[in-house]
Structure 1
Amino acid sequence: MVSMEEEALISIGRFAALTKLSHKALRLYDHNGLLPAAYTDSASGYRYYTDDQRHRAALIGVMRKMEIPLATIEAILDTTTPEDAVSEFSAWWEHQQRAFAGRKGLAEYVTTRLSHEGTPTMKVHTRVVPERTFAFVSKEVYQAELDEFVMASFAKLFDHLTAHGLRPAHTSPEDPTYLIFHGQVTPDESAIVDVCVPFNGMVPPGVDIAIRLEPEHHEAYTPIAKRDAEYPQLLHAYDAVAEWVHAHGEPTLPAREVFVTDFMAAGPDDHVFDVAFPYQPR
């Protein structure tokens, strides 16, 4: 005689038809615990499900169409309240939107380079930079970590130098600040970045703060307005200066961004920094 519990079970074939999930997907989700079968026949290995599992199965199917990783789906569905589930999903979705915006910008950059046959058109200037002493904080970072590292490091450096009376607590053309990049910083590639604040005088190193002297050098640069300061639009400026240096000399020190004002307080049309390459003229 068949029990009421057995009558309520749905075969894997019927459950697959109801949920539009394949047998292969249902076996995978059972194996990894995302959607365990309600009952598995010990003799045949055949899986059975219950009607109340259809809601979870439907959500899994839709989220997989969105290419949400299985671990993320599990984190969303295993939250304790609907509000928590919505919060988890929203966090993932916002991250995807930011990633898409970045890819869209890269696509526009590639299109521009292709249409211009790879030749940047930005105006490049030159100058001689005097010998300077930097206090700096250095760290290897990915793009997602860069902003937080830069803000925290500038705050630490200004606190250290102003405490010794060696630096005004602001950035200006006369008192610039620097980001020096020892490689490309992207979502997938990390590099060492130095956050630098020049000063005059003598000061001891601090916690995570080092001191170095940079020699006088020639520099090729192009000014950047705040509206053009985001990655990947900024790649056009790096390309332009790199091409100019390749045509007129040899690079001598890592590329940098030389800030001439408070970036956060600046308007969209304000000149906020220069993309600069130290070089030796031919």
Structure 2
Amino acid sequence: MHQVLTIAGLDSLAGGGATADIKTFEEFNVFGHILLTSVVAIDHPILFHDLPLSVIQAQLDSLKKAVDFSAIKIGLIHQIPAIHVIRDFLANSQCPVVLDPVLAFKEGDTQFNQAYQAGLISLFPYSTLVTPNLEEAQQLAGMTIASVEEMKQAAKKISALGAKQVLIKGGSRITGDFAYDVLYHQGKFTILKAPKSTASTTNGAGCTLSAAIAALLAQECHLEEAVQKAKAFVLAGIEHGIPLKNQAGNVNQLAYFRKDVL
């Protein structure tokens, strides 16, 4: 069985983060391992409790000794020194790496955000695919995005930062009845178009998508096919999501292969 690593935070509501990644990996029949970076209480405001750097390094050391990974997915890191540790690890890794660049912090354009963004960009050359959502893509590309054409422009700019391949997740943010994602790979664009879902159970959609892509790449699935399959997986998870009493609700990672019986 292929073994896949997630480098991520722990989401207290379990819709996103490391828990969502592990559930997604298992649904795609790969064995998941975790390098935990932080514990996150999903509330207002969101509370981040970062693990000490020594604990992150100790986890990584144990994983390197024990496992040969078929793919790596990276989500929330949240500490700039931890980025440096992870970059050194990726520099010696040969497997596919899917980087979900969690950038959109509510603090805005602070000195921390600028330094953190620069740190994430330093991981781009070691990543097979970078998967920003629309807000993250705007920050990385330094432009406003309101159309598919602007998504394509932003993808080129992000690629110029060192990303080999880029998937911009438009989701429901582009005006109109359709949701668009733009994949930029091998110098060409693939536009992914689907009717917008009316379901509100979307917490964890981005984490789940990148984890699904990583699981499929681990099994040597072609990138474009992996993205298509991952999108179908996430849509089923949204349509059959888990409502929560204090917010919209979670993506259900167990839905896709069981949707006929739900």
TM-score band by shorter chain is under 0.3
Larger radius of gyration between Structure 1 and Structure 2: 1
* TM superposition score normalised by structure 1: 0.21
* TM superposition score normalised by structure 2: 0.22
